[in-house]
Amino acid sequence: MAQVLEFKLPDLGEGLTEAEIVRWLVEVGDVVAVDQPVVEVETAKAMVEVPCPYGGVVTARFGAEGTELPVGAPLLTVAVGETADGRPAGDGSGAGTAATDGARDGASGGRESAAEGSGNVLVGYGTSQAPARRRRVRPAAPAVNGRSRAPEPVRETRPAGTPQAAPGARTGRTAPADGPVPVISPLVRRLARENGLDLRKLAGSGPDGLILRADVEHALRAAGTQDRTETTAATAPAATTPATPAATGGPARSTAGAASVTRVPLKGIRGAVADKLSRSRTEIPDATCWVDADATELMRTRAAMNAAGGPKISVLALLARICTAALARFPELNASVDTGAREIVRYADVHLGFAAQTERGLVVPVVRDAHTRDAESLTAEFARLTEAARAGTLTPAELTGGTFTLNNYGVFGVDGSTPIINHPEAAMLGVGRIVPKPWVHEGELAVRQVVQLSLTFDHRVCDGGTAGGFLRYVADCVEQPAVLLRTV
């Protein structure tokens, strides 16, 4: 007899309590295999495809795309096993042999899962070994109780002024009404969703009709031009007749011309950043010290390294190497505070976080065991994590567990900052832009490459003397990289 099992949103990583549904990968009536991804969700840390630990027929989905669900909330239900008349769950007289075979595959997956388990580790669901791959069969017309199941209705609301199919959209192949939308990038889907753009009505200019970000931006620009034209035509009589809510199609506005107010929900990555920074400011008594340094020799050293051949070395990698050497001398700063136990926790290993700005917001990927890496290894790892951050594919493990953070805000063209510590860490080194400035060098005024360094630290873990010593050592290494040879 068929058994309906409920699959709940699992714990996807440290500190995550909710996730937003970005895209459903299955429909009601689809046959799914054990460990098949069924939904794509966005957490405060990354975009994740969630696999289902059961094999069978999807009987219900909970939550539309864009809905935020807490961990433990139902995601979907799956019918596992066979009905009383011997047919697999979800099979009907009009479903066809393909649906029957697919449902039997899913049902057998459900029975075998009890013995062999899911190959994916989902908190609360357990695992043993990965099962063999099972094919997914999508019934043309899933049936229940002998009657054909109508496709799940999709209701879409579009605020006034948001674009539909853009009149200036590029020509190309459009997605079929009942097929998958040819989009690979989650960022493209998010951009379209936030602007109310129906991707099924958009023609992609990529290979095989793939919808690219440029296609979405082009459609939004075209729709914006149309909206401005319609707005100009609608408001032309307003020079003699005041606008009314009925005429404008929106709420009444003050005739004094008060600015409109937009409310943006603090959720997803923006909400996570807000919570973390607020907690840092509340719990950590921080202080900041800073110093200017002559980085001319550091830049010459990097140029000499890159001229010798091999992979190019980044400035960030050299600064990270300096950081790890400084933390070896001042381990008080590679720490955190356990407020419950009233203890300072010092770490032997340096897991170095670095601030990375992405389209989704600010994230801090972590380079594991940075103290064991050379400049080439650090450069490669920074590049890999930065690319993953921009693509939205960082895993929770790559965004947690840092012990010290390096913040290169010089990429924004600014000299200095007093950053907020990345809780629960105890310190953060900030690096401004490296620019030519007048500098006294060997008793004479010269133009040198100057950088401002700042250290924000938790005053509970050390006093100003320790923080000042750390920053001075970093500045000495920036000015004379040969200082590092003493500890290599």
- What is the C-alpha to C-alpha distance for residues 359 and 316, in angstroms, rounded to an integer? 21
What phi and psi values does residue 189 have, to the nearest 5 degrees?
-60, -45
- What is the C-alpha to C-alpha distance for residues 83 and 81, in angstroms, rounded to an integer? 7
Judged by DSSP in three states, 212 sits in coil
399: its two tokens = 């965004």
Contact 388, 365 (CB under 8 A): yes
H or E stretch covering 144: strand 143-144
DSSP secondary structure string for all residues of 41-86: EE-SS-EEEEEPS--EEEEEE-S-TT-EEETTSEEEEEEESB-TTS
487: exposed, middle or buried (Cβ count in 10 Å: 0-12, 13-18, 19+)? exposed
Nearest-Å Rg of the Cα atoms of the chain is 29
Apex 364 CA angle, 481 and 316, nearest 5 = 20
Percentage helix, strand, coil, to 5, in the chain? Answer: 35, 25, 45
Query: What single DSSP character describes residue 178?
Result: T
Contact 365, 356 (CB under 8 A): yes
Q: Which listed residue (351, 371, 423, 459) is catalytic?
A: 459
- What is the C-alpha to C-alpha distance for residues 2 and 17, in angstroms, rounded to an integer? 32
Active-site annotation holds for 441: no
Q: Which residues are catalytic?
A: 459
